[in-house]
């Protein structure tokens, strides 16, 4: 069985989001070689862009918070607020380093367990068509073009599933039709993906 994932699979595992336990199950099945996990190479960089944006937003929040604390501490009723707020500012300060470490670890584990779909000129060219014909963003178009390129070479008989939380952009008739013709399901929750995968790879009693 072939399972395609993209950037939000990395983010789910790295940042322990609400469905990370299901993503973990999928990764463990891949590590046990019960399935073939595939991820476009482009998806290795996208999570770092998200992490950098988060870190920048937190630095901005920390700066505003420090400024407000300084102002409040000038007032007698709030003179001790600096001490009270130390834990929060400390968490904000070190969160970026901790998230970078978790993201590095998650990506390394995925690379060791998955097949990485290379990004070549043909996929980039097709991504331009997908931007126009499917209304995808440049990033989503590159991801889908990479997956579509692999689908074109895969056996029709082998069950396949694309799991993405990006339902808004991928769950459209044109894309689901392309996937259906390649014997590939589209699921938008990792819990649904894990359940479907286990129904395929686990023989009935």
pLDDT digits (tens, 9 = 90+) for 96-121: 677 888 889 999 999 999 999 999 99
DSSP structure class, residue 77: G
16 pLDDT band (50/70/90 cuts)? confident
Nearest residue to 131 via CA among 95, 183, 174: 174
What value does the mean pLDDT of the chain take?
88
Tell me: do 100 and 122 sit in the same domain. Answer: no
Contact 148, 138 (CB under 8 A): no
Do 147 and 70 share a structural domain?
A: no
Distance CA 105, CA 113 (A): 13
Predicted pLDDT at 165: 94
Rounded CA-CA distance 98/76 in Å is 36
118/83 same-domain check: no
- Residue 70 shares a structural domain with residue 165: no
Assess whether 159 and 60 both reside in one domain.
Answer: no
Last residue of a domain, one of 75, 107, 139: 107
pLDDT at position 82 over 80: no
For 138-159, how does the pLDDT look when each residue is reduced to its tens digit (9 = 90+)? 999 999 999 999 999 999 999 9
Residues 93 and 120 in one domain: no
Query: How far is residue 113's CA from residue 116's CA, in Å, rounded to a whole number?
Result: 10
- Phi/psi at 201 (5° precision): -90, -15
Distance CA(48)–CA(54), nearest Å, equals: 10
Q: Are residues 152 and 71 in the same domain?
A: no
Confidence (pLDDT) at 3: 98
Q: Which helix (H) or strand (E) holds 64?
A: helix 46-73
Are 131 and 141 spatial neighbours (Cβ–Cβ below 8 Å)? Answer: yes
Predicted confidence at residue 71, as pLDDT, reads 73
Residues 178-198: what's their mean pLDDT? 96
Residue 51 has pLDDT above 80, yes or no: no
34 and 133, same domain (yes or no): yes
Pair 75, 119 in one domain: no
Are 193 and 168 in the same domain?
A: yes
Task: Say if CB 193 and CB 9 are below 8 A apart.
Answer: no
Host domain of residue 118? 2-43+114-201
- Residue 119 belongs to a domain with what CATH number? 3.40.50
Number of domains into which the chain is organized: 2
Say if residue 31 is in the same domain as residue 56. Answer: no
If asked whether residues 135 and 96 sit together in one domain, one would say: no
Q: How confident is the model at residue 78 (pLDDT cuts 50, 70, 90)?
A: low
pLDDT(62) > 90: no
């Amino acid at each position: 069985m072939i399972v395609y994932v993209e950037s939000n699979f990395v983010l789910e595992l790295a940042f322990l989001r609400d469905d990370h336990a299901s993503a973990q199950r999928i990764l463990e099945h891949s590590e046990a070689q019960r399935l073939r996990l595939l991820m476009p190479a482009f998806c290795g960089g996208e999570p770092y862009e998200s992490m950098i944006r988060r870190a920048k937003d937190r630095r901005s929040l920390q700066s505003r918070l420090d400024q407000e604390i300084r102002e409040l501490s000038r007032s007698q009723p709030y003179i001790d607020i600096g001490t009270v707020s130390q834990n929060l500012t400390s968490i904000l300060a070190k969160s970026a380093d901790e998230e970078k470490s978790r993201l590095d670890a998650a990506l390394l584990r995925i690379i060791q367990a998955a097949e990485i779909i290379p990004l070549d000129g043909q996929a980039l060219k097709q991504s331009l068509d997908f931007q126009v014909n499917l209304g995808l963003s440049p990033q989503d178009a590159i991801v889908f073009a990479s997956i579509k390129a692999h689908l074109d070479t895969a056996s029709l008989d082998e069950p396949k599933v694309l799991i993405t939380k990006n339902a808004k952009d991928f769950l459209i008739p044109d894309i689901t039709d392309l996937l259906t013709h390649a014997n590939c399901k589209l699921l938008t929750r990792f819990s649904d993906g894990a359940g479907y995968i286990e129904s395929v790879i686990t023989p009935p009693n």
